[in-house]
Amino acid sequence: MKSLLIAVIAITTVTSASAQSLPGGFVYLRDVDPTIIQDIRYATSNNFVGRPLAGYNAGECVVKQEVGLRLKAVQQELATQSLSLKMFDCYRPARASLDMVKWSQNGRETAAERRYNPRIPKTELFRLGYIASHSQHSTGAALDLTLVDLKADNAAKIDPSRSYADCTAPAAARLPEGSVDMGTGYDCTDAMGHTAAPSITKEQRAWRKRLVAAMARQGFVNYSKEWWHFSLPGAGGAAYDFPIQPRRN
């Protein structure tokens, strides 16, 4: 999810982190399983804020080591079905969550932002549990992800000259994501984005169930308001604020 509100969280600020040295048992997911597709959206302008978030200095998935190993196991299972995980967000610096807070309070709401929040004003996203100032992502134990059908044509790219529909529209009308059709786009703050939403098609529901089941077999728990958000109970701990830096080969 964009953020999961947790009542008490200790934020450990690490003033610098080298590209090869990560604190607290964190690892680059590419070092654990390079076959898992990554599209770290908060390191780009292709997200609900419309720009890279604070602390995302590289589009790299960083996770706790246990989380990475379990994701590798999920990926190995999916590979036998010509499927792959695609990561949208992993570890999130605490400063990025505060960046979201500032965004929600800036008094503006653009058409591009409304694509992600078609029915909910951005000022209401905190009260409704879609964004919080403290995120479980900052512990390294929460993830945003989807499935990719490796047999399908996933080559569609965003056309900047095109006016896309909001995240609840049919897949052909909304921003392309190169993944299976889960019924909404990623980060869609709408009832249709709830995992068990009754308004999606039978096929879309089957894809969601397939993702939830594959993740559950490795101990991951889905957040009911966001089909894309999963966490691994017991793998978190303190929150961190070190920036995501480029990974050295």
Strands 37-38 and 11-12: unpaired
Report how far Cα 180 is from the mean position of its chain's Cα atoms: 15
- Percent of the chain that is helix, strand, coil (3-state, to 5): 25, 15, 60
Cβ neighbours around 127 below 10 Å, total: 9
What are the backbone dihedrals phi and psi of residue 70, each rounded to the nearest 5 degrees, phi first? -70, -35
Q: What is the CA radius of gyration of the chain?
A: 17
How far is Cα 187 from Cα 112, in angstroms, rounded to an integer?
Answer: 13
- Find out whether 134 is annotated in a ligand binding site: no
User: Has 226 been annotated as catalytic?
Assistant: yes
Residue 35: both structure tokens together: 């076959």
Of residues 77, 78, 49, 48, the one with CA closest to residue 166: 48
Residue 144 is assigned to a ligand binding site: yes
Q: Quote the strand ranges of the chain, DSSP E.
A: 11-12, 26-28, 37-38, 62-64, 83-89, 142-149, 221-223, 226-231, 239-240
d(CA 196, CA 23): 36
Contact 138, 11 (CB under 8 A): yes
Catalytic residue among 66, 77, 177, 226: 226
Q: Does 190 count as an annotated binding residue? A: no
Which stretch of DSSP H or E encloses residue 153? none
81 near 151, Cβ under 8 Å?
A: no
| Tokens matching residue 60 | 């790299």
Numbered residues of the known binding site for Zn(2+): 137, 144, 229
- Cite the active site residues: 226
Numbered residues of the known binding site: 137, 144, 229
